[in-house]
Amino acid sequence: MNRSLSEYEPFVGRAILDQLYQLADDLKGMTVVHVNSTKEGGGVAEILFWMVPLMNELGIKASWEVVEGNSEYFNVTKMFHNGLQGNKANFTSAAKKIYEGTNEQNAQRLRPILENADAVFMHDPQPAYLLKLCPERKGRWIWRCHIDASNPHRQIWKYLRSFLSDYDASVFSMPNFAQYLGNPQFIIAPSIDPLSDKNCQISVSDINETYDKFNIDRNRPILTQVSRFDRFKDPIGVIKAFRLVQNFSPAQLILAGGGASDDPEGAAVLEEVKEAAGDDPDIHILMLPSDAHKTINAIQRISTIIIQKSTREGFGLTVTEGLWKGKPVIGGNVGGIILQVKDHHTGFLVNSPEGAAHRIRYLLRHQGRLRMMGEKGREFARDNFLLTRHLREYLTLLLGLKKGFTNRLIAT
């Protein structure tokens, strides 16, 4: 990405950019390494894709490393992911061995980069064990948790905490996602890039192509959920809600998803979704490649309402993307969706397929309200969830770590 910060001025104004340059002044030359477990697919990769180049533009020497592993490793880390979000799990010593062993293999490659970095952002649990394997680390290490860890599986949490508490700081997306780790904690919500292929303005021909390519009717409302095929995203619940809407108003449902390379459960969930959809021609299940950003952008723009009916959610970037496109969002009453869907203002929070259907039908009957909510949603996203706010908070955190503010925080 060769985009410059100045290109964001039309969205956020000059003062916001000046503030970023000022904050970064004291961070010039600092080496910052982000580590996660996939280059493509999922919200973390989306964020790092723009975060790393913009940090570089501000004079920070930022880079992005990805841990590699086989399917056994990703099965274990998926169990951690689900376990952190409260699922039952069978955490065995074999699983621990796979996790630690794969991190050890990655450490052999990454150790020099990580130990020499001034700051390391370790995203989620997959690579977090690397801290134990870099004893000569000279910089400050931050564990950045993107998921809802408020009610974790106890045994998994006990294990993860044994090394997460050695990080110099931790970052959660919302206050009620956080767990006590004995280090300074920061709350930083994620964000979207308004100039990315996923969120930029697109041409009428791209829009038309999308209708045609997926055989979507231009004349009936379109309800859309964009998500990995993951049970926490509740795609089956979305289909149930859609069936209840169909009984009253003609509509179409798009379930657009794909696999993230660190998510081994996707294929099984996709099969369940196909079975639930049956041969209904108004349910479009789209398996998209991980780089189908423009297509997702177009699908969100042609949608009447965006749905994100998750039963557990980290932040829910798909919600932000929907709001930014001026669409009301019907969202599960969980996780970061609550930060974004302001009930009755930018959309509706729901707790069941019936609730979702009720709200969808209401919006389809009240077009004025639907438009007004969409406009409010866009402004809400502009004020709170664009990348410049996110970058500012990361810079402030780095400054705090550099100047030792966080030690003082601990001391007080």
Give the binding site for ligand UDP (CB under 6 A): 42-43, 46, 198, 226-228, 256-258, 288, 296, 314-318, 321
Q: Least distance to ligand UDP from the beta carbon of 224, Å? A: 11
| 3-class secondary structure, 195 | coil
- Cβ proximity to ligand UDP: between 113 and 174 the closer is 174
Distances from the Cα of 336 to the Cαs of 35, 131, 187, 205, 349, in angstroms?
A: 22, 28, 12, 34, 11
Q: How far is the CB of 411 from ligand UDP (least distance, A)?
A: 35
Helix H or strand E segment including 112: helix 93-116
Q: Say if residue 348 is exposed, middle or buried (CB neighbours under 10 Å; 0-12, 13-18, 19+).
A: buried
Smaller CB separation from ligand UDP, 213 or 365: 213
Residues 6+ apart with CB under 8 A from 121: 32, 33, 34, 35, 142, 144, 394
Q: Whole-number minimum distance, CB 242 to ligand UDP, in Å? A: 18
Task: Look at residues 37, 32, 24, 47 and name the one whose alpha carbon lies nearest to residue 69.
Answer: 37
Q: Which tokens sit at 224?
A: 């859309």
Residue in 214, 252, 260, 257 with CA at minimum distance from that of residue 234: 257
Residue placing its CB nearer to ligand UDP in the complex, 134 or 337: 337
Minimum CB–partner distance for residue 262 and ligand UDP (Å): 10
Rank residues 102 and 340 by Cβ distance to ligand UDP and give the closer one.
340
Pick 77 or 318: Cβ nearer ligand UDP: 318
Q: Least separation, in Å, of the C-beta of 33 and ligand UDP?
A: 21
CA within 13 Å, CB half, 309: 27
Q: Give alpha helix (H) positions in 117-185.
A: 154-164
Residue type present at position 234: D
Is 153 or 198 the residue whose CB approaches ligand UDP more closely? 198
Q: Output the smallest distance, CB 368 to ligand UDP, in A.
A: 28
Q: How far is the CB of 46 from ligand UDP (least distance, A)?
A: 4
CA 161 to mean position of chain CA atoms: 22
CB of 382 to ligand UDP, least distance (A): 17
Between residues 34 and 228, which has the closer beta carbon with respect to ligand UDP? Answer: 228
Per the CB < 8 A criterion, the answer to whether 387 and 8 are in contact is: yes
Between residues 160 and 255, which has the closer beta carbon with respect to ligand UDP? 255
Q: By three-state DSSP, how is residue 61 classified?
A: strand
Give the shortest CB-366-to-ligand UDP separation in angstroms.
Answer: 27
Between CA 398 and CA 142 the distance in angstroms is: 10
Phi, psi of 66 (to 5 degrees): -120, 130
- The residue among 318 and 406 lying less far from ligand UDP, judged by its C-beta, is 318
Residue 79 structure tokens: 């169990």
